[in-house]
Amino acid sequence: MAIRFNDALHAAGEQTSIGSFALMDALAWWIGSELMRRHPGELFLRRTGSEFQYNVLAVTRRMAGVPGRSREVVAMNRQPGCHLTTGTWFDNSSSTKRFNWLEILASPDRFKYVVEQLEKEAGLRSPTSTPATVAPSVGPRLIAGFLVRTIFTRKKWVALAGLEDSGMGAAWTHDTLFQNFPGTEQLIPSPSPNAYVEGDYRFWFLCPTEPRKHEQESSAKDPTVAIDIDHGLLWTPETPSPVNLIDAYNKAGRSMDALISVVCPPAY
């Protein structure tokens, strides 16, 4: 099923790039977290990149009954002038139109225009009501909410992946990200010849970074929070035992805003 574009909005976005990585990153995480919330356990998030698709946050679907096999839902390239590419586009790239960042930002209804259309393209059934937040969705929602908070702050943040891949089959871990968190060293994933093995991509880290350079990993400082987004667990350098995010979410009145204030580092 082809995506229906708002032609005027799409054309404007093709002419005007968003230059802020923080804004593209927050939008990408919002899209990813909403898809994860609406389809808990069916999807996972990856940081991937290659010569043509670099600095990508990808939402990938686990293929039921086929261990280790997956299918791209959307690859969100967080660079000026780049696009959000669906898995179906890779099957038929002669269809050149893809979502751009300006139309995502300016859309009056991002759920209908973006999230629901991505679901249809991927063959995911749109839920009639938003499912309750559970262990596989609380972590992505936490990261997305925190990054949205920090879009316009002087202090910048980035979510880095414990494991990422090239998009061409190679994968590698960032072992140094785990070193700040006692109790996580034994959880470091081992890169597999098949980079899409379930569970390998579950660790993400919130790191402060240098203003205007925060898309560059080299400018990121030591992480302050480690999150296992498959199981809804969070570590800080001071707590070797992880925080159960669903328990903390319930104690915070099932308010994501309140949870972020309790477990995340000060955003400013």
State yes or no: pLDDT of 242 exceeds 70.
Answer: yes
Residue 249 pLDDT exceeds 80: yes
Q: What are phi and psi of 128, to 5 degrees?
A: -75, -25
Mean per-residue pLDDT for 121-148?
95
Q: Which of 89-103, 105-119, 214-228 has the highest mean pLDDT?
A: 105-119
The predicted structure's pLDDT at residue 197: 58
pLDDT at 93: 59
Give the model's pLDDT for residue 214: 44
pLDDT above 60 (res 241): yes
Q: What is the pLDDT of residue 191?
A: 64
pTM of the model: 0.91
Nearest Cα residue to 148 out of 8, 32, 14: 32
For residue 164, the surrounding DSSP H or E stretch is strand 163-165
Predicted pLDDT of residue 6: 93
On average, the pLDDT of the chain sits at 86
Say what the pLDDT of residue 1 is: 59
pLDDT of residue 94: 59
Q: What is the pLDDT of residue 40?
A: 92
Mean pLDDT of the region 213-234: 80
What pLDDT, on the 0 to 100 scale, is given for residue 137?
97
Give residue 194's identity as a one-letter amino acid code.
N
pLDDT digits (tens, 9 = 90+) for 138-148: 999 999 999 99
Split at pLDDT 50, 70, 90, the class of 216 is very low
The more confident residue out of 155 and 211 is 155
* Per-residue pLDDT tens over the stretch 40-94: 989 999 988 754 456 899 999 987 655 556 788 999 999 888 899 998 887 775 5
Produce one character per residue of 66-100: b if its CB has 16 or more CB atoms within 10 Å, e if not.
eeeebebbbbbbbbeebbbbbbbbeeeeeeeebbb
Q: In the structure, what pLDDT confidence band is assigned to residue 194 with cuts at 50, 70 and 90? A: low
Secondary structure of 109-139 in HEC code, one letter for each residue = CHHHHHHHHHHHHHCCCCCCCCCCCCHHHHH
pLDDT of residue 50: 52
Amino acid at site 26 = A
User: Any idea what the Cα angle at residue 87 is, between residues 83 and 92, rounded to 5°?
Assistant: 90
Q: Where are the domains of the chain?
A: 7-122, 135-263
